[in-house]
Amino acid sequence: MQTITTVAELRRALADAHRADKRVGLVPTMGYLHDGHLALIEASRAQCDVTVVSIFVNPTQFGPREDLSTYPRDFQRDEKLCRDAGVTIVFAPVSQEIYPAQFETFVEPGELAKPLCGAFRPGHFRGVATVVCKLFNMVQPDVAFFGQKDFQQCAVVRRMAIDLNLPIEIVTVQTVREADRLAMSSRNRYLSEEDRGQALAISRGLFAAAEAFGLGERNVDKLVAIAKRHLETIDQLQYLELVDGDTLKPASSPLHRPAALCVAAYVGSTRLIDNVILQPTP
């Protein structure tokens, strides 16, 4: 495995693979890797000849009062996990490599970036789309792998790839969960034992609604209400919305198209997101 910190070195390292028409996979991360990231790496290794993992805490997707300075970092641990997982290249640039002096060009996503997290984190998806587009241009992958937990991010990135004619397949990998069903997240390390117990209400609510859906419930308001009952113990529920799986607009009753029940909530000072996909049978 190679660990690379500059774009020039990255392009040199990938030149032979591109010339040989090898299939290159990219797993973009902000580091502090967990089993969810390792599932993305596993998916890339299964589908690609070369797997590149980027580790970069992207400052442009954090708001002024968010946790950029305290976001968990442990590069040596991440590097070992990547090596053990069979990663080909770890790309770990410093901020100046991605955003050099006088940088001023950003990717501005459209309607998909406005609801859900976009309504509460202005500029977040602008930062996400910009850094992902830059990583796509640097690595030139055939496939890029993202986790379903970041459902809206996946939708924004997929739309960007289509709209900007980027020849990259976007693969979404199912959310990986702890044994107690808490969605894996680098931010879980912020949770105290008491916080973690409270956080389990998120997945309980989502899975209760998914169970009702599986038993035939198709009324949007009722499905949301089922989930919300479990979330009453959460410190702060930021949003709980059932949205169309393609447009992210509010889903309508009776539910007959793929939809996502999405939640963002604060447990203590930690913001957590999660979702379940509701897929009506034909």
Is the sign of the CA dihedral 6, 8, 13, 14 positive or negative?
A: positive
**Residue labelled with tokens 């479990």:** 230
- CA 196 to CA 155: how far, in whole Å? 28
Is the sign of the CA dihedral 242, 246, 252, 255 positive or negative?
A: negative
- CA 10 to CA 232: how far, in whole Å? 48
Tokens representing 112 are 């998909």
Nearest alpha carbon to residue 25 among 2, 7, 9, 41: 41
CA dihedral 174, 177, 182, 185 (to 10 degrees): -80
Is the peptide bond prior to 280 cis by the omega test (within 30 degrees of 0)?
Answer: no
Catalytic annotation on 37? yes
Which one from 34, 37, 124, 256 is the annotated catalytic residue?
A: 37
**Residue labelled with tokens 């709980």:** 240
Strand blocks (E) in 141-247: 143-147, 169-173, 236-244
- CA 59 to CA 190: how far, in whole Å? 19
* Neighbour count for residue 176 (Cβ, 10 Å): 18
Burial environment of residue 169 by CB neighbours within 10 A (0 to 12, 13 to 18, 19 or more): middle
Q: Any idea which residues carry the catalytic annotation?
A: 37
